[in-house]
Amino acid sequence: MSDDVSVYQRQGFGGALPVEPPIGLLIVDFVVSFASPDVFGGGNIGPAIEKTEGLLATARERGWPVAHTRIVYADDGSDGNVFSTKVPSMLVLTEASPLSQIVEELTPVDGELVVRKRTPSAFAFTDLAAWLTRRGVKTLAIAGCTTSGCVRASVVDAMDAGFTPVVLTDCVGDRAIGPHEANLFDMGQKYAELMERDAFLKVTEAA
């Protein structure tokens, strides 16, 4: 056991969270720009998208509420904020830009929520929490990118809103593996349950 893990365990971190139905699925920012290493992508984002294809298909078969997110700024950048000041290149993600569209293999269908956001969290200044609550969701499975950015922010806010976040470790990705692994560790110790996709789908077969 590493010294880091032993410190967390000694201090009482890393408790297990119950995976209780109803289940919902949140797919964070799997859009064209984050799928492309030439724009905002790289690392293990591509494989995470591939894993999420099967996850989304199963969620639809089981009738789970599904929400997707996109980062969308005004065409003229008039709604820019601290996030876009820190990362000015994000302002290319406008409503009609091909770069801001959800990747084709995860295209939303009727009845699925598409959240447009201008900050990392899927919950900040959006109606996502209300939408999930209305559908009775208790456990929120989370896929998307980046692990260290918008996924992490959404996980923390999901917990704050009273949902049990389950980060599907092979369905989230980052442009660099170091931040991906570090943030998975931290979320698993403090905010969320960590599970691989297939294990989660097995546990929730009856949900």
User: Which amino acids are annotated catalytic?
Assistant: 150
- Written as one string, the DSSP assignment of the chain is --HHHHHHHHTT--------SSEEEEEE--BHHHH-TTTT--TTHHHHHHHHHHHHHHHHHHT--EEEEEE-B-TT-TT--HHHHHSGGGGG-BTT-GGGSBPGGG---TT-EEEEESSS-SSTTSSHHHHHHHTT--EEEEEEE-IIIIIHHHHHHHHHTT-EEEEEEEEEE-SSHHHHHHHHHHHHHHT-EEE-HHHHHHHTTT-
| Sheet bearing 23-28, strands edge to edge | 113-117, 66-71, 23-28, 139-145, 164-173, 193-195
